[in-house]
Structure 1
């Protein structure tokens, strides 16, 4: 166990300043770290990688995935190097070159979706279409199914024959009926949505992810794009993980570069330039547009900052 602990400490020391330790947990006797399963691990590199990840603030499911990635990287490199960080598809048992041969892959979308506005209703969608925002998501929330259908129908009509690509959040059945360009689903929606029906209808699929385990899971479905975050704190919805920060986003973007990527969560004019440098082809914003005094001017300014 001393060897495993020593290797884990080497990893933590090597990456302490890489903005990967967010947040650093404070473990106590009453709040011990999750137990690393020695029996399930293939080697001490896996155990060390998982242990380091736990102490760097990664949630347990991500730590397990990272542990296996450290093991694969060490085996592929012919040895352990704490200065490196697993960020290649083969480290995570991903096969990006098979996407074009996968009959279950969803329809493709542009690699660079650009500035991506997440809007609360069809009126806002229309304003974004008029402003020629490249990508828009309708995130309308209601328990009234007739209102939902009306909002989606109006949003699709507004985006038809325009330069704007429209994704519908959550309501995939209504999106199919209205002929939307695509749908965006959270991880919690994957199990209940009929992915075959979405695929057969020709809609693009975007999936939200919040760490390594969810990215690996999303990859199984070959979506059209993968959204990664939340990069910063956000009030838009409850997040399953703490804000990931720029350091983790940069690593995620390297790993999943075979997908169109969208950075999500708490991004504004003060952070959008640094986020864009991560390698993502799109940045999602909400309040940076909806709370701006002049949304059109805000869009132009944000797009300039993305360059």
Structure 2
């Protein structure tokens, strides 16, 4: 499975901080039923065995809905779970090394904060770029907001799909219109919502306006 711009339209990144009334799998399925076009499993505190079991469950779930499944950071878990790809940040394994490990077919996503980082990631084999944080965000306390001019410059500089991330909500998503991004990656806007499915549906409708 290779990456296209439509796949980036509404990209859900998991966060178990809001697991309670629903399990993470139930939250993800609700999102899948309501317009999410890609799912990334991000787990910072699970041990490897639990992470792998969860990744296999999520891979099966996403594939039932025909939606690509990406694992954050953990290349070996991505390979072992049947994930469609892996996403790495600038502080994780080098993109070129990840590409060598996962081969040519799996999707490789890379976070970028500058035009230089973006171009380097593409040269290293990135299939898409995560750009941000575009707004201040509670899920990454050390993330400074990316200037709009930088976001636009990166989108002009690369031909691979781009997804904006960081502090995106129903209230500010349309501020990204005209920036050149192909879609949005959201965390709390879906998983922190009282009804993740309804939130995903509203965000799907809004994100479809970004390309207009």
Q: Per the shorter chain, which TM-score range?
A: 0.7 to 0.9
Compared CA separation, residues 276 and 284, structure 1 to 2 (3 A): farther
Map of 1:15 onto structure 2:
none
Asked if 2 retains the 8 angstrom alpha-carbon contact of 1:211 and 1:229, the reply is no
SS of equivalent residue, structure 1 residue 227: strand
Q: Report the Cα distance in structure 2 between the residues aligned to 1:261 and 1:177, rounded to whole angstroms.
A: 26
Match of 1:116 in 2: 11
Contact 1:134/1:165 (8 A) holds in 2: yes
Aligned to 2:21: none
Return the alpha-carbon distance in structure 1 between the equivalents of residues 113 and 134 of structure 2.
9
Instruction: Quote the offset at 1:286 in angstroms.
Output: 0.9
Paired residue for 2:191?
290
* Post-superposition offset of 1:272: 0.7
Paired with 2:89 and 2:137, the residues of 1 have a C-alpha distance of: 15
Structure 2 counterparts to residues 221-240 of structure 1, below 5 A: 221-239=124-142
Match of 2:103 in 1: 199
SS of the residue corresponding to residue 194 of structure 2 reads: coil
CA RMSD in angstroms, aligned pairs only: 2.1
Deviations 1:160-205 (A, max 9, x none): 23232111111111111111111111111233854312125x2100
TM-score (norm 1): 0.59
Partners of 2:151 and 2:196 lie apart in 1 by 27
**Equivalences, count:** 198
**Alpha-carbon deviations, 1:37-91, whole Å to 9, x = none?**
xxxxxxxxxxxxxxxxxxxxxxxxxxxxxxxxxxxxxxxxxxxxxxxxxxxxxxx
Question: For 1:158 and 1:132, how far apart are their aligned partners in 2?
Answer: 14
Q: Is the 8 A contact 1:229 1:243 kept in 2?
A: yes
1:129 aligns with 2:68: no
Are 1:245 and 2:142 an aligned pair?
no
Distance 2:202 2:189 in 1: 10
Q: Is the 8 A contact 2:39 2:62 kept in 1?
A: no
Shift of 1:303: 2.0
* Contact 1:117 1:285 (8 Å CA) reproduced: yes
CA-CA distance at 1:143 after TM superposition = 4.7
Q: Where do 5+ consecutive residues of structure 2 fail to align?
A: 17-23
1:260–1:275 Cα change, 3 Å = same
Between structure 1 and structure 2, the one with the greater Rg is 1
Alignment of 1:1-307 (within 5 A): 108-112=2-6, 113-120=8-15, 122-123=24-25, 124-191=27-94, 194-200=98-104, 202-239=105-142, 242-256=144-158, 258-306=159-207, 307=209
How far apart are the structure 2 equivalents of 1:245 and 1:272? 15
Structure 1 residue runs without a partner (length 5+): 1-106
Contact 1:132 1:163 in 2 (8 A): no
Which of 1 and 2 has higher RCO (CA within 8 Å, sep 6+)?
A: 2
Question: What is the alpha-carbon distance in structure 1 between the residues aligned to residue 154 and residue 116 of structure 2?
Answer: 11
